[in-house]
Structure 1
Amino acid sequence: MRKPITVEDLWQFERLAGVVVSPDGTRAVCGVTQPSMERNDSSTQLWLLDTDAKRAPRPLTSGGQKNGQAAWSPRGDRIAFVARREQQGRSDDQPQLYLIAPDGGEATRASDFAPGIEAFRWLPDGRGVVFAAWVWPGLKGARAQAKAFKTFNARKETGYATSEAHYRLFDHQHPMQRVLHLLRLDLASGRIVDLFEGTPYELPRVDLQPLPFDVSADGRHLCFAYDPAPEKLAGQRRVLVELDLARRRFHRVADDPAWDFDLPRYSPQGERIAALAANVGKAHTMPAKPALLSRDGRWRALGAGWDLECASAPAWSVDARALYFSGESRGRCPLWRCAVDDDVITEHAGGGWVQGFDVGGAPGQEVLVTAIDGHSHPVRLFAQRAGAAPRRIERFNDRLLARLALGEVREVSFQGALGDEVQMWLTLPPDFDARRRHPVLHVIHGGPQVAAGDSFGYRWNAHLLASQGHVVAQVNYHGSTSFGHAFKHSIVGRLAELEFQDLEAATDWLRAQRWVDPQRISASGGSYGGFLVAWMNGHAAPGRYRAYVCHAGVFDRVATFAADSYAERPKDLGALYWDDMPKVLAQSPHAFAAAMRTPTLVIHGALDYRVPDCNGLAFYNTLKLRGVPARLLWFPDENHWVLKPRNSRQWYREFFTWLDAHSGRRRAGRQSRHAR
C-alpha cells in the first residue's frame, strides 16, 4: 500500500551529484549524500559504478563528512577528491586534496596547504594538480601563506574590514584580504607554486563549480576566466586568459567589450578551446551560448539560430567533433549536442532535468553518463554508449519511491501578459478526484531568470506540498528562462508587472476548472517568488487569495542594496535609486503596503546575504502594524535556503499549519499524519 510522501521521506532520499567518468569509460564515480534527521546533518561519500551496470554500485569512501569534487587521474589508476578529514592523528582545518585507488583502500592526504583547496584539476601527466585557493596576494610561497593563515586564525578580533566591492556571497564573507589564485601541486614532493603570484590575475569570486579554468592536453597551457575590471564585482564581463606554464606568460584568448566569456574547455588535442559566451553588450540578460576559440585569439559563437542558453560548461566529445552541454527548453533541461564544424545543435537526451553529465572512453567507444531527475523522481544515473540506448546504472532510491503515492503532474498553458502563451505545471494530490473541488497553492519560482522545471526538488517539493490536499500550480511567468530571450528580457525595468498578470491569468484559468475550489486559492514563493508574493499582497483584489507564504522575499528594493548581488539588481530594475527613485519604488512591494490585507507567513534566514533578512522582518512588522494576520519563522542559522533536516521539518510544519488555518485546506488531523 503506497502512502503520501512526508517530510521524513523527503530527507531519506539519497542525493546524487558530481558524476565523473573514468578515462576508459568503464566506470564512474558520483557523490551520494545521505541526510540524517536524527543527527540533523548530512554525510557525502563517493560511490563507484560500472557503466555497463553488470555490478551494483559500491562505496568508495567511508570516512569524513563531505567528500566531493571527485576526478579520475589521466591513467584512471587514482581518484582525487576534496575533503576535510582526520588522518594520522591530525584533523584538517581546511579542505585538502585526497587520493584513493578505484579498487578501494584508505584515502591518503595529498596536500597540506594551510588556506585549503577550493577546487582542482589534474595535470595530464598525472604527477600533479592545479588548484584554486584563497591566498594573500602579496605573499610569496606556501610557508608565508601558512604563517599568515596561522596568525589570522589566532587573532581575537571578530570584525570584518574590507575595501572590496565584492566581499560576500550567499552566506559567507570572502576571506578577508585574500583573492582566488591558481596554484600547482607536485604530488611526489608536495611542492606548491602559486601560478598567479606577483600578477594582477585572480579567479572570479563566485562558486567554483563548474570550474572556470582548464589545462591543455599536453599540460603546457592553462586557460581561465578573469574579470579585467580594476574593481571586482559580480555580474561584470569576463575575458579568457591563457597561461604558458613553462614560460609563465599570459595572453588573452577571448576579449571583446561586448561579450562575457566563461568556463573554458580545451579540446582533446588541445588546439581549440570551447567556452560559453554571452553578448552582454546587447543586454545583460543575453543567453550564454557555446563558443569556439583558437589559440591565436580568434573566436566564434555557435548556435546562431538557437534562442536558448547553456546551463552547464561545455564538454568535448572524445573525437573532438562535437560539444555536449545542458540547456533549458520549455521547463525542461535536456542534454544538447553541437557539431562544431557544422554548427548544428540537436537534442541528445530529453525529458526531465539534466543535473550533470560526463564523457569518457575512446573514439568510437564513447561513454556518456548523465544525471537526470524529473517531477516524480530524484536524480538517476544513465550510461549511454555510441549507437545504444541509455542504460540506468544505479537504483539508489527505488525502494523508497516504491512506497510512496505521488500525484499526477500535468503541463498546461494559457494566455498570459502581452497575449503570450505561458506554461504552468500542475501537481495533483495523490487522492485527486476530478469530481470534487480542491484547494490550490501557487508555488512561485525565484530568479526571476530561472524556471519551474521538470525536476524533483527538495526545498519546495511539489509532491510533498500536494500531499496535503492542494493542487500545486507552478507558473513559468514572463522573465522565466527556457522560453527564448525575448520572454526572459521582457520584465526588465518593470519588475512584477507582467509576472503579476501571468499569475492572475493562471488563477483565472484555475478558477474555471470544475475541480478547483475558487474560494481556496493561496500563493507562496521564495526569493523572487517571495517578492512576487509580497507584490500580490499589495495588488491582488482582497479575498482573491486566502493566504500567502513569503520565503526570503524582497520587500524593499532600496534596503536590498545590502545584498551580495547589489550591483546586478539595478540592471533588472532599469534604474539606480539615487537617479530615479520613483521608478525603483514602482517596482518595490513596500511602496504598496497600504493595500496589504491578506494573511501572510513570512520566513527568512539570518545568514541570507542574497536577500538580507531586513526584508522579511520589515514585511512582517508592516503587516503586524497594519493589523493583518501574520506569522514569522526566522532561522538564525540558515541562509537563502533551509538546509538542515530538522529546520526543514519545522519549515514544512509551519507552512502546512498556516495553510490549514487560513485556506480551509483539510480537516484537522490530516496534517499531523502526513507532515510529522
Structure 2
Amino acid sequence: MTIRAARFTPEVLLSAPRRSAGVPNANGSKVLYTVSTYSFAEHSGGSEVRVLDTATQESTVLTDAGGSEPNWIGDQVLMLVSGSNGTTDVLVGPTNDFANSNYTAGNIDASASSVKLAALEDGSYAIAFAALAKPDGSLYNAEKAPAPTSSGRLYRAMFVRHWDTWITPNRNAIFFAKLSRGSSNSTSGNSYAMSDPVNALKGTELESPVPPFGGTDHFDISTSGLIFVARDPDLNPATNTKMNVYYSRLTFSETTAPAPVNISVPGFDSAASSPVFSPNGMSAAFLKMRQNGYESDKNQIFIVPDVGRPDSIVPMLATADGIGQWDRSPSSIAWSHDGQTLYLLADDLGSVPLWSLSVNTGAGSRLPQLLAKQGSFNSIRPLSTGDVFVSGTSLVDNSAYYLVSPDATGIQRVVSSNSRNGTAFGLSRSQVSEVWWPGAANGTRIHAWVFKPSTFKENATYPLAYLIHGGPQSAWEDSWSTRWNPAVFAEQGYVVVAPNPTGSTGYGQAFTDAIQNQWGGLPYEDLVLGWEYISQNMNYIDTDRAVALGASYGGYMMNWIQGHDLGRVFKALVTHDGVFSMAGQMASEELYFPEREFGGPFWNNTENWLRWDPARFTHNWATPHLIIHSELDYRLTISEGLAAFHLLQDKGVESQFLTFPDENHWVLNRENSLLWHTVVLDWINAHVGLPKYSEQSSNGRALKREADMTSPQDEVVGGIRDLKL
C-alpha cells in the first residue's frame, strides 16, 4: 500500500489498490496476484501482475500491460494478455525477468478467462480456459463478428436475458489444449508451445462455466481429464436451478473431445459447484443441492473415489432424510496435498472460516473441524509442505494472505496484509463489535455487526445507520466490500448496525429456509426487535437521528418498512434496486426464485405473492426516501424503482431518484460508485444533521449541485445529469 488515509472516505475506498486472491507456488515461498488501481484526479486506472516473495516481503511487478489469470507452470509464470483484434495471448516467462524474457506460448482467437493448469507425466501441461463459442462450437471473437443488419431479437422460449445481458446463440464453453516443450520464439529454445484449443462441450448443448458468475469454480482438469458443472439441458433455466456434474476422459492430445458422462446424484436436483480433482487425478469431489428451484439450499459434499467409475459416488455426512449431518453450507472445496483431507469454506455466524474434513469420514459422524477463523476467507491453496495458503478479507482489511497449519487450530502466520490490518485506511479492529438479540421466532437469536466511528467517544451519541442486506438468503459478514462498506458510513459519524435476520446464511439451514413465505414477516419483526434492542441497550446511539438503507432484498425491506410502523422511526430511507411490486417480478428472468419463495407460479398463488407486496401499503408511505435503480438490472427491472419514485412524488413525499444507464444490479464503475456514495451520503447526512459529503471533499464538491426552483434546467455536472425543476 502506498497510501495512508487520515480519514476513510469513498475516495479512499474506491481508489485503494484491489488485490486478487493469492496464487502460491508449490511450497508457498512466492505468491502471484493481480492488483488494480484508480486515480480520481486523472480519471484513469491500471492493473499489474505481481509476485510476492514471502520471506523478504518484496513485491515485484511482472507486467503492467494488462496481464491476468497468473498461474505457476513449474517455476515460471503463465498469464493471459489481451492481444489484437479481440484475441488473447498466452504468455510464459520467469519471475526474475518476466518483462524482458516472456514469450507467447499460444494465441486464442477470442477473449479467454478462467485458466487452469495440470502437470502431465511427460513434462507437459494441460491447460483449460473458458471462452464464448459459436453454435458450431468454434471460438467466438466479438471484434471479428459481422455486424448485424437488424437490431431485432426473436425468442421462442423464456430466458431471453440474464443479469445484464440479452441471451444470444453464443455460449460459454471450456476449451482445452496441451502445452508441450519444444522450440519456439523463446531464446531458451526449450519453451512451451500450446496446441490448437479443443472445445470440450462441442455438440453437447451444455454451457460451462454457467453465467453470469461461474468461473474456475465450475470446472477442473487433471491428468485424467475434465470435470465440470452445467445446467441441465432438458430444463428451462428460467424456472429451474438444476445443474449436473459431467466428466470427460481426456489425454489432452485429442483434436475432438469425447462425450462427457453425467455423474448423476439421485435425489439432488438443484445447483452444483466446485468440482475438483484429487492431486493424483483419480478421484474428484463436488458440491450439490437437493431442491430444484431453490438456489439457497444447503450444499452437500460428494466424492467420486474413482473417476473411471463415475456412477460410484460417496455422499459425505449423509443422512437417511437427505438433509445431511452438517448444518452449514460449504461454498468451496480443495483437496489436501496428500489427498486425505478436504478443505472447505462455509459461512458461520457472520464470517467464512476454513474447515477440514477427512476423506475417510464418508457417511460417518465426524463433522468438519474448524481450522481457522479470521474475517472471511475466499480462496484455498494447499501447499506441498502440508500447510494451507488462504486468502481473505475482513471489515477493516481489503486483502490478506494467511498460512494455516492443519496440525493446529488458528492462523499460523499472516503472510501479507494489503492495508496493514486496516491501518492504511485509518481503520481499527477496535471499531468492530457484535451484538445479539432474541428473534421473532421461538428460540432464534439475531446477530448483528456494529461498526463505530474511529473518533468514537463513550460519552457522546451518534446517529444510526441501519443496514439491511440483500439476498435475502445472504448475510453481513466480516468481509470487505466496495459497494456496501460499513466503515464508509461509520466514518461519516454514524454507528452502523448491520443485522442478519431470519433468512440469513451461516446460522443453520433451518434459519435460512424460514424466510419462505415470510418476506415481510419474520425478518421485519426481527428488525423491529433489533430497533427495540438498540433503543434500550446502546445508549451511545441517538435513535431520534436514524436512517435505514438496503439493496436488493434490503431494498425490498426498505419499501416494506416505509409502509409499516418501523418506517416512521427513521429520518430517511434508501432503496437500491429493490422490489416495489410483487407482480413486477414476472419480468425477472429468474422466475424460479419468486415461485419457490411464494409457493408456486403467480397465477396459481396470486394471494400468496401479494401478501408481502410493498405496493399494498403505499398509503402509509411518508418518510423521505432516496430511490436508486439502474437500467441494466434485468433481475429487478428499472420499472420497480421508477414506480416507487413516482409514487413518492405523487404523494408529495420528499424523494430523489438516481439511475445509471450502464450499471446492473450493482454499481461497479468507480466514477459511478463515487457518485453513488456522494448522493447517498448527502441524502442521509442532511436528514440527521451531519454535513453533506459533497461539502466535505474535493471530489464531493465537484458533484455538488445548486437547486434552481424557478425554471427547468438540464445540466451535466460532475458526471451526473441533474434535471432541476
- Relative to the length of structure 1, the TM-score reads 0.90
Q: State how 1:651-670 maps to structure 2 within 5 Å.
A: 651-662=676-687, 664-666=688-690
1:582 paired to 2:614? no
Q: State the AA in 1 paired with 2:557.
A: L
Letter in 1 for 2:260: F
1:620 alignment counterpart:
645
- In structure 1, the residue matched to 2:493 is 469
Residue 388 of structure 2 corresponds to 368
Q: Counterpart in 2 of 1:270?
A: 281
Residue of structure 2 in register with 1:88 after alignment: none
After alignment, is 370-379 or 478-487 more displaced?
Answer: 370-379
Structure 2: which amino acid aligns with 1:101? P
CA 1:399/1:240 → structure 2, altered by over 3 Å: closer, same or farther? closer
CA positional deviation for 1:507: 0.8
The residue matched to 2:672 in structure 1 has which SS? helix
2:108 to 113, 118, 131: 113
2:48 match: 45
Deviation of 1:38 after TM superposition, in Å, equals 3.2
**Matched residues in 2 for 1:178 and 1:598: separation?**
46
Secondary structure of 1:459's partner?
A: coil
Q: What is the aligned counterpart of 1:501 among 507, 517, 525?
A: 525
Does the Cα contact within 8 Å between 1:47 and 1:59 map onto a contact in 2? yes
Partner of 2:16: 13
The Cα shift of 1:284 comes to 5.6
User: Residue type of the partner of 1:333?
Assistant: V
Aligned-CA RMSD value: 2.7
Give, in whole Å, the separation in 2 of the partners of 1:542 and 1:403. 34
The structure-2 alpha-carbon separation of the partners of 1:382 and 1:177, relative to structure 1 and needing over 3 Å to count, comes to same
After TM superposition, give the deviation of residue 386 of structure 1 in Å. Answer: 6.2
The whole-number CA distance in structure 1 between the counterparts of 2:699 and 2:565 is 30
SS of 2:665's equivalent? coil
Residue number among 11, 23, 26 corresponding to 1:23 in the alignment? 26
Q: Which residue of 1 aligns with 2:423?
A: 401
Number of the residue aligned with 1:191: 196
For the Cα contact (< 8 Å) 1:119–1:131, is it kept in 2?
yes
Deviations 1:455-474 (A, max 9, x none): 13221111110112211110
Q: Within 5 Å, give how 1:196-595 maps onto structure 2.
A: 196-203=201-208, 204-216=210-222, 219-233=223-237, 236-245=241-250, 248-260=258-270, 261-280=272-291, 285-294=296-305, 295=307, 296=309, 297-303=311-317, 304-312=324-332, 314-342=333-361, 343-361=366-384, 365-384=385-404, 390-398=412-420, 401-402=423-424, 404-406=426-428, 408-419=431-442, 420-512=444-536, 513-541=538-566, 543-595=568-620
What is the SS of the residue equivalent to 1:60?
strand
Unaligned runs of 5+ in 2: 180-192, 252-256, 318-323, 701-725
Q: Give the count of matched residue pairs.
A: 653
Contact preservation (8 Å) 2:419, 2:425: no
CA contact (8 A) 2:86 2:143 kept: no
Counterparts of 2:521 and 2:359, CA distance in 1: 40
Change (3 A) 1:641 1:621: same
2:371/2:406 contact within 8 Å kept: no
Cα pair 2:241 2:592 within 8 Å, conserved: no
Is 1:84 matched with 2:90? no
Map 1:119-198 → 2, pairs under 5 A:
119-125=114-120, 126-138=124-136, 152-163=145-156, 165-174=158-167, 176-187=168-179, 188=193, 190-198=195-203
Deviation per residue, 1:290-341 (Å, 9 max, x gap): 22123322223324432011122x1100011101121110001111111111
- The secondary structure found in structure 2 opposite 1:239 is strand
Shift of 1:150: 6.7
Which of 90, 97, 103 is 2:96 aligned to? 103
SS in 2 for 1:152: coil
Report if the CA contact (8 A) 1:183-1:193 is conserved.
Answer: yes
| Distance in 1, Cα, partners of 2:161 & 2:44 | 24
Deviation sequence 1:555-597 (CA, Å, 0-9, x none): 1222233334233231122232121212111122122212211
Contact 1:5 1:674 in 2 (8 A): no
Check the 8 A contact 1:7/1:675 in 2, yes or no: no
SS in 2 for 1:331: coil
* Alpha-carbon distance in structure 2 between the residues aligned to 1:275 and 1:484: 21
- In structure 1, what is the equivalent of residue 712 of structure 2? none
Amino acid paired to 1:290: I
> What residue number does 1:61 align with?
63
TM-score normalised by the chain length of structure 2: 0.84
CA deviation vs aligned residue, 1:232-288 (integer Å, no higher than 9, x gap): 416522221211225824322333243443321111122321111222269664311
